[in-house]
Chains A and B, each alone.
Chain A
Amino acid sequence: MSAHLPILQVLVPLLAAPLCATVRNGRAAWAVAVVASWTSLWIAIQLLALVLADGTISYELGGWAAPWGIEYRIDTVNAFVLLIVSMMAAVITPYALRSIERELEASSVALFYAAFMLCLTGLLGITATGDVFNVFVFLEISSLSAYALIAMGQDRKALTAAYQYLIMGSVGATFIVIGIGMMYVMTGTLNMADLSVLLPQVSSTRTIAVAFAFLTVGISLKLALFPLHLWLPNAYTYAPSTVTAFIASTATKVAVYMLLRFFFTVFGPAFSFDVMQLDRVLLPLALVAIFSMSLVAIFQTNIKRMMAYSSVAQIGYMILGISMASVTGLTAGILHMFNHAMMKGALFMALGCVMYRIGSVHIDSMRGLGKRMPWTMAAFVIGGLSLIGIPLTVGFVSKWYLIQGALEKGWWPVAVLVLLTSLMAVLYIGRVVEAAYFHDFPGDDEHDLGEAPLAMLVPTWALILANLYFGIDASLTSGVAGSAARSLLGLGP
């Protein structure tokens, strides 16, 4: 049983998807999704424990040995990402029940869960596999289902948002497959471990350089690196609340993982950073993303859109850490994948609660909510503090490593910029706090709206408490991220 865990990780949600579609009943489909996502979480925990205890796990699909067959290869890096993705799914599916009933028509609820499970399958597949073409296949599964999920938003603009994402996402995926194809032409293999051995022999060729470029642009599109982020704000704003919370906390993280996997494991840090000088592209873009997107976020009136721009800025933090190509920098980047999933997931879930009661997340309609929805708004405030990076929240731990990495390199202006942009987060979170706590509710006072249902509040608060827990005791997350960083740099676990 435990030998088959790597494939079961992907198989469970994959089988749950058609099951959701066939049961037709919304609640039954939801139950299937809950069971599947919690099983995934259990598998992810088992895998991480196994990897931490015994080292890398290699699983040959169908018994065909690599490099001919498809290999699933779990090490600290992807075990950690698997945990992030399945944990977010496990928290969000229980939350989805009430939120989706409110935001979707009854007839499409079951199909929603089917698409949701497919999206989860895709994300877990990209992460678990050790085969580059398999990455592309799962990328398409997750992307296509994500387009469908986003298009289910109430607002008609969700359709254009999904279409925009479809176009940009397809360009990205195509670039990735072109890059993979070129590598295959030059080496005759699709297995990552095999590629990393064979690529150095042909690395001086123009073809590999072009493949590298295609992969860089393709992956950057998927992870919404500035200025390739244009699809993201609309997609996050108009998607159903549940979808925003899930996509924001997982999809971009998995794309960041792809970046790590391709440029550190497949190409190797020496080629990526010394020869191709990837950091010269990533570092400036990351800095511009962090600064400009934080600035744009301050002026948004739709809070979901505000958080979307903030996400692009936060992705900038991850890429900044990665572009340092040092142990501390990579640790910061990987750690922030986990921490950002925690905080953005919680924030979008709190916004989903507001959406459920008020039907809008415009800043004016959130006036006076501090009194009317105290638990929801308290969750938002704590999530916001985590985003700012107040000590004893996860955001602080990320920032600590990031600044430490920058100072190690002697990049003190970068350290200053990171701190200044945290203060910009104070501004945009502060606007919501002022609206919620210093203004009276605009509607009639007679009609008391009350809190969001417990089924939504409990998962939201579970994530909020995780924000605090992993901010107070970060030894697990920073330890795993640190050993992942060392293994990516080839320095042993």
Chain B
Amino acid sequence: MSVGLVTGLAVVLPLAGALLILLLGRWPNVREGVSLVTAGALLTLVLRLVDPVKAGLRPELVLVEVMPGIPLALRVEPLGLVFALVASFLWIVTTLYSIGYMRSHHEENQTRFFAFFAISIAAAMGVAFSANLFTLFAFYEVLTLCTFPLVTHHGTEEAKKAGRVYLGILLFTSIGFQLLAVIWTWQLAGTVDFQEGGILSGTASGGVLSVILVLFVFGVGKAAVMPFHRWLPAAMVAPTPVSALLHAVAVVKAGVFTILKVSVYVFGLDLLGELASTPWLAWAAASTIILGSLVALTKDNLKARLAYSTISQLSYIVLGALLANEWGIIGGGMHIAMHAFGKITLFFAAGAVLVAAHETDISRMGGLGRAMPITFGAFFVGSLSIIGIPPAGGSWSKWYLGLGTLEAGQIGLLAVLMVSSLLSLVYLLEVPVRAFFGQPPDGVNLQAGMREAPWPSVLAMVITALATVGLFVYPDPVFDLMKLVLP
């Protein structure tokens, strides 16, 4: 099987999985079996792409020529491969988690849930492997639309309102800004292909290109750069597995991935470093980092706090891209992986607390750690990765991002990274500290049958927590791939 075909299969396979899930919806065990098998098969496919890419190949597949010169096409390069590896690996884990979560939480419409989940993964694969801006935009929009039924899964008035915010902001930014930037790029460069060194250099004045960069950065609403971040907390009404995989990994990472990809392959780092708007946008990202952390401090609802933490962390990657140097890109790319493993662990734990103890507020989690030691242990490890201290993978990406700020001569930005780490230390570690050392709120008897969530969910979060530690000891797979992005 040619590698190009493998790329295509990686997009088609989850779609086929979705179809099977719909057809087999009547038998929950078979349906979940299909989900797991599809996820496993997808990871196998993506892994098969690693060696060819490391050997210098860039597997390509043109699906169809949509308009003259604008094909729907796939092309695997190292950055996309990192994203695809992370998403497909975590899909397996999340499926495992979902089985425990959805059943013990007695969610309705589980077939629809698993089917749209699979379609979302297909769209994420499409984003990861897109060969040009048009393909990227198409899959980006598909991802927005097929996560909408997942966000509004409960069908309540609250879900409807959240859905409005979700779709409203994501479509407003993507159609209003990003599409304009894409067509403008096509207009100027005569191509929308991602190419090494960029395609926009020398096509227009610095002013015009600066405007296009602004349109891209804010047009990728999924990267949640303030003020276009409100959709992410809104999306938290979704069942926890959706928040975990989609709104900590697939959807949001599709956003920051787009910004990295546009920086490297549309603008090119040389051009990016010269544009007048780049430093301003870097500071916009820096403000998001700080403001997101500050808002996270004020949130008592655990998922809301994690959502604002994600907003803050995503801007690390945006910042990395806008530093316009090798360390920034490497740090940003590694942070896609590191943050994914850390944050998904945190969401898994939050969901486990909801399922087992029916608690959502941090102030009411005192003493819960004694009943659910594994859950809060995993939460602790995940927190370390987000804060960026050893022995968790997050420390590596922060290290390289820090190097990037120094290389760019931006001490101020380095200070932002440090302050944000301190803030995240406060808002994240409060949770395990309360759980292990705090007192339960009045009227709650912890002894009364309180125990861990169902075993598939616990297993899932143990896997991701161990993986964050593993990525500290052995970050080479991610690092080696990211080194290839800028030859």
Contacts and interface: CB of A to CB of B under 8 A. Distances in A.
A437 B65 contact: no
At the interface, is chain A mostly helix, strand, loop or mixed?
helix
Contact of A407 (B67, B155, B157, B187): B187
B171 interface: yes
A392 B183 contact: no
Contacts of A146: none
B187 to A, nearest CB: 5
A217 interface: no
Contact-residue bracket for chain A: 20 to 34
Given A397-B67, A438-B152, A479-B68, A419 B175 contact: yes
A423 B145 contact: no
B171 A419 contact: no
B283 interface: no
A187 interface: no
Given A389-B175, A423-B175, A416 B65 contact: no
B176 A423 contact: yes
B215 to A, nearest CB: 10
B30 interface: no
B179 A408 contact: no
A230 interface: no
Interface in B105-145: 134, 137-138, 141-142, 145
A185 interface: no
B164 interface: yes
Contacts of A391: 134, 137-138, 141-142
A392 B138 contact: yes
A474 interface: yes
Interface in A341-385: 385
Contact of B183 (A385, A404, A479): A404
Interface residues of B, number: 30
Contacts of A416: 176, 180
A278 interface: no
A472 B67 contact: no
Contacts of B175: 388-389, 419, 422-423, 426
A415 B65 contact: no
Contacts of A438: 152, 155, 157, 159-160
Interface in B175-223: 175-176, 179-180, 183-184, 186-187
Nearest to A426: B171
Interface string A392-431: 1000010111011001100000011001101100100010
A445 B156 CA distance: 19
A336 B164 CA distance: 29
Contacts of A389: 175
B64, B155, B183, most chain A CB atoms within 10 A? B183
Contact of A426 (B138, B167, B184): B167
B207 to A, nearest CB: 13
A419 B175 CA distance: 6
A399 to B, nearest CB: 8
A471 B72 CA distance: 11
Contacts of B184: 407
9 contacts: A385-B145, A400-B183, A401-B67, A403-B180, A404-B187, A419-B175, A426-B171, A438-B160, A478-B67
The 6 closest A-B pairs by CB, nearest first: A391-B138, A438-B160, A407-B187, A403-B183, A473-B64, A391-B141
